[in-house]
Amino acid sequence: MQNRMMITGAGSGLGREIALRWAREGWQLALSDVSEPGLQETLKLVREAGGDGFIQRCDVRDYSQLTAFAQACEVKLGGIDIIVNNAGVASGGFFSELSLEDWDWQIAINLMGVVKGCKAFLPLLEQSKGKIINIASMAALMQGPAMSNYNVAKAGVVALSESLLIELAQQEVGVHVVCPSFFQTNLLDSFRGPTPAMKAQVGKLLESSPITASDIADYIYKQVAAGEFMILPHEQGRMAWALKQKNPQLLYNEMTAMAEKMRAKAKQNNG
């Protein structure tokens, strides 16, 4: 390990906090995002925190941009030890309201962006015997109502991570998947959904979270060091996952009741 890390979606939110957590340990960081100003700000904070690195604008939908980013890591850092596939977008809406374009957009960024990140950087990770950290969501495990395209994309990230865990063990490449619940983040900046009410509801959940992106980054740092594959930063999330494994029907009933409440609320707002 030469302490070199790549992060997508590093211009804000959890991506930035992960960069800062590892920067405090003196790591070299390759930071990418679609927002250039966000990246500049992250790099400035990284340097203040004791790390260093470089930035490169990158849209994870475009595989050629990711392979160019991997080449830049090889040239500037001599390789890479950890990749963090963090870039993601939020969306919501009942299945009947979501367009196929909504599905394509969600899958292209939140699932295929992670697939392409793993693919572009795997040769470098095989050389360094490095690690993959994929950022999924509790939505991957819980499948809450009115976010089916997001649930499916994030569940795909978990399935991909499980597949890579098994396939890359022989190459000594480690794999971790992180499933945070709602936390204070700017995820809503990218939110796409058929109804403004849905965005407001998600906003309330994000604001009411007791845990910040910085707390989550710290938790990820510790769990990766401990070799934990599935990282669930929220205590409530860990409890909900344990419950679902024991009694899935109980959770489905709860989610069904939640869906009914959401529908009733939406009717009220439209009434």
Q: How far is CA 234 from CA 41, 141, 246, in A?
A: 28, 13, 19
Distance between CA 56 and CA 30 in Å, rounded? 8
User: What is the b/e burial string over 199-231, where b = at least 16 CB atoms within 10 angstroms of the residue's CB?
Assistant: bebbeeebeebebebbbbbbbbeebbeeeeebb
DSSP letter assigned to residue 186: S
DSSP for 54-65, please give it: EEEE--TT-HHH
Comparing CA positions, the residue from 18, 26, 16 lying closest to residue 49 is: 26
The one catalytic residue in 150, 219, 221, 252 is 150
Taking a C-beta distance cutoff of 8 angstroms, is the pair 8, 55 a contact?
Answer: no
SS3 91: strand
Distance between CA 145 and CA 131 in Å, rounded? 33
219 is catalytic: no
Radius of gyration over every alpha carbon of the chain, rounded to an integer in angstroms: 18
Q: Which helix (H) or strand (E) holds 246?
A: helix 235-246
Residues with catalytic function? 150
